Structure 1
Amino acid sequence: MRTLIVTEFITLDGVIDSPGSGSHPRAGWTFKDVPFVEEAYEIKGREQLEAGAMLMGRVSYEEFAPVWPTMEEEFAEYNAMPKYVVSSTLTDPEWNNTQVLRSLDDVAKLKQTEGGNIIVHGSATLAQGLAAAGLVDRYHLLVFPILLGDGKRLFGGGDPYTRLDLVEHEAYSNGVTKAVFNVVQ
């Protein structure tokens, strides 16, 4: 069985909306508002190397697909690996090696296949749905010392009770903290 990992840039108040770009009024908060410290992003490179597939929602797909393929040096592994989009409306994905899944049941079937980790970037609605369906195995969080107040959140008000086990953590000089949690099944 494959491990499904939700990885997020997240504010201290739980917002994951528009960390690099997007429609949030403070879009780009990861790089505009917090000094860059290279070692804080080590986990991102590790995720690419360890992942066997990427899973995303339609909105994240529409944001990533025009940009990531042009950034071959930064995202070579992601561009080459299988990508899956959970969507009821997307019909013909153009990003290399991308397949559409129609439901969380399809995601559950994907988890049963052979291969490396399945990594979920962004996709707040999808991440909440995956958590509610009991499909998330691990969270990789880079927590930024920012309060945005509003925006898409990783954890919604209706999330089921979930116990997490902290398996890796580190704090960096810019105030960002890394927290890796396994979901206790």
Structure 2
Amino acid sequence: MKLTVHTFLTVDGVMQGPGGVEEDPSGGFTRGGWLVPHADQDMGKIVDGWFARAEAILLGRTTFVMMRDFWKQITDPDNPAATALNGLPKYLVSNTVTEPDWNDTTVLSGDGVLAEIARLKERPGGELQVHGSCRLARTLHEAGLVDEYRLLTFPVAVGAGKRLFTAEAPATGFRLVESASTSAGATYAALAPTPFTTGGIQAVDGKEQLVEG
């Protein structure tokens, strides 16, 4: 399976609490809900397209609990996100949750979690999708296990908060796979990791010339 990470971001890179103040107030974060004023049908189509490709869902504990408590209430058969999240196999990375209480959920715990995820990727099928799950997404990025990042960035900056790419993260290049924009001003980019490269600018015969490192 292809491992894909799906994240809502502010323009200053924060992914914490997009849907509401109560969603993730850890660290004293009080600016949750920044996505809501910018949600529209274009965003909905992009997100529905994500879930249409899902074969299984991989979540960290905080996101799992938040999603479980909300999406178990949504029984509309015409809602692609609810259909996927409630019906597909789910994998929860947690050392504290032993009874996940959500249909078809397997708990992954202990020191061998990354190896288990790597084995899941070896299975045939569609996509193993991570949604939110900041700490897990960072760990997968650092381990080089992510095949594609799908980032939906909204026209708002909130300052401090949890970020997908931290100062400690490894340097990575990306290749643009697909992109779109919404009527509310959000921008979408699907990115495949590539090796990190550098370059420079030189003056050659009176002209600027880019030089790859």
Instruction: Identify the TM-score tier after normalising by the shorter chain.
Output: over 0.9
Larger Rg: 2
The corresponding residue for 2:144 is 134
The corresponding residue for 2:171 is 161
1:70 aligns with 2:73: yes
The corresponding residue for 2:56 is 53
Aligned-partner Cα distance in 2 for 1:170–1:93 = 35
| Per-residue deviation, residues 121-160 of structure 1 (Å, max 9, x unmatched) | 1111000000001110101111001111111111111111
Q: Give the residue type in structure 1 aligned to 2:134.
A: A
1:179 aligns with 2:193: no
Deviation at 1:109, TM superposition (A): 1.2
Q: Give the residue type in structure 1 aligned to 2:187.
A: T
The corresponding residue for 2:104 is 97
Any unmatched runs of 5+ in structure 2?
Answer: 196-213
1:23-38 alignment, distance < 5 Å:
23=25, 24-32=29-37, 34=38, 36-38=39-41
The answer to whether the 8 Å contact 2:56/2:128 transfers is: yes
1:14 aligns with 2:31: no
Aligned-partner Cα distance in 2 for 1:121–1:54 = 8
| Per-residue deviation, residues 72-94 of structure 1 (Å, max 9, x unmatched) | 22311221000001112211110
| Per-residue deviation, residues 8-61 of structure 1 (Å, max 9, x unmatched) | 1100111000001212312111113x2x32113312111111100000001111
The answer to whether the 8 Å contact 2:10/2:158 transfers is: yes
The answer to whether the 8 Å contact 1:8/1:16 transfers is: yes
The answer to whether the 8 Å contact 1:86/1:104 transfers is: no
Q: Percent identity over the alignment?
A: 39
| Larger RCO: 1 or 2 (CA < 8 Å, sep 6+) | 1
Q: Give the residue type in structure 2 aligned to 1:91.
A: T
Aligned-partner Cα distance in 2 for 1:137–1:184 = 10
Using structure 2 for the length normalisation, give the TM-score: 0.82
Any unmatched runs of 5+ in structure 1?
Answer: none
Aligned-partner Cα distance in 2 for 1:38–1:169 = 16
Deviation at 1:5, TM superposition (A): 0.7
**Deviating 4+ runs (over 6 angstroms):** none
Aligned-partner Cα distance in 2 for 1:169–1:114 = 26
**Local SS of the residue matching 1:67:** helix
2:156 to 143, 146, 149: 146
Change (3 A) 1:18 1:166: same
